Amino acid sequence: MSLVETFFNADVLLSSLPALLRGLWNTLLLGLLAIIVGVPAGLVVSLIRLYAPKPLRLLTTIYIDIFRAVPVLVVLILIYYALPFLGIRLSSWASAVLAFSIVMAAYSAEIFRSGIESVPRGQFEAADALGLPFLVTLRKVILPQALRIVIPPTTSNCVSMFKDTSLASTVALPELLKEATDAQALYANPTPLIGAALVYIMFLWPMVRLVSLLEKRFKAEKTR
């Protein structure tokens, strides 16, 4: 067989397309759920790390360090396969969403911490001089500035999260790569994997370009 017939077989690609689209839907849903849960949780964790009493700051620091160091696959396997020994049984979907959300929150917390700390200290002092309560200062003065700073790295994290959803195949969740792998086995041809790669590129490439554009825009604003 030629290279085209082996890796770019149109008939196999068309036959496997429904499975790839089904997997794409699951990938998008899983990634969005992890982002919707993980990013706000990361903001909360970062605020606890920065402003809570010392014991809580220590706990959040340990949480962030551990889940940024441990591979996502290990977290996923522990939740899906180890928790049942403790009497906690979660479905493939629940395990995947929980694992990815935990990791996403850890990375987001560090990004938010960096963004908040990059806001000049004088902003706090000015708000304090005006008699603004601390929570009001955070909500109306500090966080709006910090959020602009963290948008590019957060968007980059979201891209990585969508790619990491491919690990959900280890818990039998039929995301895009799992469907492509099953189609490859069914047709005895690697074309579905090439198709999955093209699908990833089509929906992630705009996000990658968005990160670059946002970084250039914010860099230009700083130099003004």
**Gap between the Cα atoms of 78 and 87, Å rounded:** 13
User: Which two tokens mark 131?
Assistant: 């008699």
One DSSP character per residue, 149-218 reads HHHHHHHHHHHHHHHHGGGGGGGT---HHHHHHHHHHHHT-SHHHHHHHHHHHHHHHHHHHHHHHHHHHH
* Gyration radius (Cα) of the chain, Å: 21
pLDDT mean by block of 10 residues, the chain; 224 residues: 78 91 93 95 95 94 95 94 92 94 96 91 81 85 87 89 90 88 90 91 87 75 60
User: 41 near 64, Cβ under 8 Å?
Assistant: no
> What integer pLDDT is reported at residue 139 of this predicted model?
86
- Which token pair is 191? 């074309």
Whole-model pTM: value is 0.88
Sign of CA dihedral 111, 115, 121, 124: negative
Cβ-based neighbours of 25, under 8 Å, separated by 6 or more: none
Say if residues 108 and 161 touch (Cβ distance below 8 Å).
no
Question: 87: alpha, beta or left, given left = phi > 0 and alpha = psi -120 to 50?
Answer: left
Tell which residue, 165, 186, 161, has the closest CA to residue 18: 186
- Give me the phi and psi of 2, to 5 degrees please: -80, 170
